[in-house]
Structure 1
Amino acid sequence: MDGDTPKTSMCIFAANEDMDTMRNFEQVFVKLMRRYKYLEKMFEEEMKKVLVYLKGFEPLQRIKLARMTALWIGNGCVPPAVLLVLVNEHLLKDNLALEFVLEVFTTVKQERGVASLIAALRRGQLEGRLLEFLPLNRRSEEALAASFGARGLAELLRLHRAQASQEARRDLTAALQDDLADDKPVRDLIQDLRDMAHKHAIPDHEVIAIIWQCVMSRSEWNKKEELLAEQAAKHLRQYTPLLEAFAQSAKAELALLTKVQEYCYENMNFMRAFSKLVVMLYKTNVLSEEVILKWYREPNSTKGKMMFLDQMKKFVEWLQSAEEESESGEDDD
């Protein structure tokens, strides 16, 4: 039996590279695996050895091997993570690793569809590691987009970007938590966050939500509701310059206001503190009159909204009357 596997492999390289022929060989391997169960564990290790030797194959042989690998990944004979052995300097520098995985991904997509391809990448935890298949001197988002876009793999680019974005947000959150624990000056916090947000293209409305989450996780809250609102306002007041720095658009302000709403709803002791926190953020120039009125008038998050509308009623009426007086004054002018 052990002597049959190399012979079968040699037949693959001697055969045509069309998918009908490749599928026939796939069925041979599937039958062998079912008959000789011990081969299942061996096959992954053998595939790693073969892929590391990729440079020893002719270009057409590499295409055939990539297509067979795609079929094996698709039917579960080989785990997708086996492709990570290609992240090897001698395979990267000549584009061999990139060309091979592009052929594998394209074949999986053609044979089993986009959903199956995305599932395979997630199973192998490859969605955040696509850049690693590019040569070091070409490793950039632009080069990745060009390579994958040319092979019709735009879906994988979106998956990669979503994963990279998620990781960047985790990194930004962790960095802010560390800086807050070290009592870093607010001006330095602002600069560090701006640098990280710019580097990873994280918009202000997402940054401000992360700031709120980190700041509110830094305090041990009083269990007495009548004292909690004042404690929370006092705690937040020291971070209002940080919040204000990223509340420079209506979208960012509304994102913060929604976060305050959801936090107060999800933490029961804060239910009665909502209006006090919003008024404090208004008085410290973090939230504007326009955004508060927009939040009050338009639907957004439903979490506790009716209760919070009732809390905000008097303050909103005061804002509206001030707005009307201002408009009246402009008309008189």
Structure 2
Amino acid sequence: MSSKEKPTLGGTRIKTRKRNIAVPLDTGTFADAVVQIYNEHSGDLELIAKDVDASELDFSRYGETFFEVVFTGGRNQPGTTKPEEGERHPYSVLNCDDTRESILPIVLFLQKIIRRRPFMIKTLENVMKRLLQSLELYGPEDRTKLAIFTALTFSQKLSGLPPETIFSALMSDTLISKGIVLHFVTDTFKVYLVENSLDDLVSLLKRAKMDDRLLDLFPMQKRSIEGFAEHFNKEGLGVLVEYNTKKVFEVKLKELRTTMTDQIAENVNVNEVIEMVKAKRKEATLPDVDVVRTIWDAIMDAVQWSGKNQQQNSNLALRQVKQWGKLLGAFCTTARLEMDLMYKIQIHCYEDAKLMKLFPEIIRALYDQDVLAEDTILNWFKKGTNPKGRQTFVKGLEPFVKWLEEAEEEE
């Protein structure tokens, strides 16, 4: 049988490398091969990326070793920061300056490597988790470098690294009690906010399921709203303080709404409900405008709606307003709060078809109970700025407004 020559592309020159990395057969030789590439190019990440791509390194088997070399310059003894035997290079994350400018190129380098090998994102996740769980083993400067790297992985959207896994690695009682976690996340937030907005950070925290747990990052003795504000204001992260304050208010208001809804549904004496709300407002220093809005929501929540019977629903809602108007009146104590209540009712009636035609009667009922003053109603009627259903509601309120104006003229 005659042998056939292998086909070749005419005119194509096949380039050969001047040297070849021997295919590693264990973690030690794999690490040495990667270190060799780093050292040969003196840390030039562009050239290192090209050589890594051209090599026959088995990243599916030795991916974790690769990331150890990226972070520390070589292999570490398991559970320590002590170097394992073998070559090392001086261009790792932990050998950089603790600045964003020094670490960003490494993140971008890894982005290139992982884009060509998407399976490695899980490996990076595992290595980062292990590093963060071992933060106690590193000094303050190295912890800052790891925080910067963590922030940049999310800022640069490093191939979908899951924030929940990374942040969950920090939830160690030991690390939290020593203040290590608090300082780590503070550095992380600072770097992340260089290129991203507070909304971006909030979105990241929600994906990490940490938006409701920020206080849990504080040592127990500092775990308070005041301690939170003092720490992050001092670190120049006042926007985070504002967000957390609002978040705490939302939780307190939700609790207040639930308690009020239950008491109203159980027909508890209105004076008892008023005292309960006053106590909750004082305890959590809740803004008056939010308290008034929450009272309205609770009154409506407690209505036992009757299926599709529109007239019956209207009667039930109106009866509820008349019965609990005193509760609104106890906290709606200024013209500004009265106007805000009118806007709240306007939006609610606009968004709930059951109440669309009931707006004028609700306003009349609250006027009769001295919750809404004549001046407030006339001001809303003439100068109200919220457009939701306004034309319909103004038309419906015309007879009552006309009556108010005629009564005023007679006086």
2:66: which partner in 1?
Answer: 4
Rg larger for = 2
- Alignment check: 8 A CA contact 2:306 2:312 kept: no
User: Does residue 133 of the first structure (1) align with residue 185 of the second (2)?
Assistant: no
How far off its partner does 1:61 sit?
Answer: 1.3
| Alpha-carbon distance change, 294 to 104 in structure 1, aligned in 2, over 3 angstroms | same
Where do 1:9-88 residues align within 5 Å? 9-11=71-73, 12-77=93-158, 78-81=161-164, 82-88=166-172
Distance 2:327 2:114 in 1: 60
Distance 1:31 1:228 in 2: 61
- Alignment check: 8 A CA contact 1:225 1:272 kept: no
| Alpha-carbon distance change, 272 to 201 in structure 1, aligned in 2, over 3 angstroms | same
Distance 1:119 1:274 in 2: 37
| Alpha-carbon distance change, 269 to 15 in structure 1, aligned in 2, over 3 angstroms | closer
TM-score, normalised by the number of residues in structure 2:
0.69
Task: State the number of aligned residues.
Answer: 325
Distance 2:408 2:338 in 1: 19
2:35: which partner in 1?
Answer: none
Which residue type is aligned with residue 22 of structure 1? I
2:230: which partner in 1?
Answer: 146
* Matching residue within 169, 175, 196 for 1:113: 196
Q: Decide which structure has greater helix share.
A: 1
| Alpha-carbon distance change, 178 to 244 in structure 1, aligned in 2, over 3 angstroms | same
How far off its partner does 1:289 sit?
Answer: 1.9
Distance 1:231 1:10 in 2: 69
Identify unmatched segments of 5+ residues in structure 2. 1-61, 74-92
1:329: which partner in 2?
Answer: none
- Alignment check: 8 A CA contact 1:98 1:134 kept: yes
Which residue type is aligned with residue 47 of structure 1? M
- Alignment check: 8 A CA contact 1:127 1:159 kept: no
1:300: which partner in 2?
Answer: 385
1:159: which partner in 2?
Answer: 243
How far off its partner does 1:226 sit?
Answer: 6.4
| Alpha-carbon distance change, 29 to 271 in structure 1, aligned in 2, over 3 angstroms | closer
- Alignment check: 8 A CA contact 1:208 1:252 kept: yes
2:372: which partner in 1?
Answer: 287
Alignment RMSD: 2.8
Distance 1:270 1:104 in 2: 48
Distance 1:125 1:325 in 2: 62
Distance 1:60 1:232 in 2: 62
Which residue type is aligned with residue 184 of structure 1? V
Instruction: Note the alpha carbon deviations across 1:78-110, whole angstroms, 9 max, x for none.
Output: 433322432322112222111111111112223
- Alignment check: 8 A CA contact 2:162 2:208 kept: yes
TM-score, normalised by the number of residues in structure 1:
0.84
How far off its partner does 1:124 sit?
Answer: 2.5
| Alpha-carbon distance change, 159 to 228 in structure 1, aligned in 2, over 3 angstroms | closer
Secondary structure of 1:239's aligned partner: helix
- Alignment check: 8 A CA contact 1:228 1:273 kept: no
1:330: which partner in 2?
Answer: none
Which residue type is aligned with residue 23 of structure 1? L
Distance 2:119 2:310 in 1: 64
Relative to structure 2, which stretch is displaced further, 266-275 or 238-247?
Answer: 266-275
Distance 1:201 1:87 in 2: 30
2:207: which partner in 1?
Answer: 123
1:181: which partner in 2?
Answer: 265
How far off its partner does 1:209 sit?
Answer: 2.4
2:347: which partner in 1?
Answer: 262
| Alpha-carbon distance change, 94 to 318 in structure 1, aligned in 2, over 3 angstroms | same
| Alpha-carbon distance change, 9 to 181 in structure 1, aligned in 2, over 3 angstroms | same
Secondary structure of 1:34's aligned partner: helix
Distance 1:62 1:222 in 2: 59
How far off its partner does 1:137 sit?
Answer: 0.6
User: Does residue 216 of the first structure (1) align with residue 300 of the second (2)?
Assistant: yes
Relative to structure 2, which stretch is displaced further, 236-245 or 295-304?
Answer: 295-304
Which residue type is aligned with residue 208 of structure 1? V
- Alignment check: 8 A CA contact 1:229 1:276 kept: no
| Alpha-carbon distance change, 233 to 32 in structure 1, aligned in 2, over 3 angstroms | closer
Relative to structure 2, which stretch is displaced further, 135-144 or 15-24?
Answer: 15-24
Instruction: Note the alpha carbon deviations across 1:228-260, whole angstroms, 9 max, x for none.
Output: 655543332221221221222222222222333
* Matching residue within 302, 309, 323 for 2:408: 323
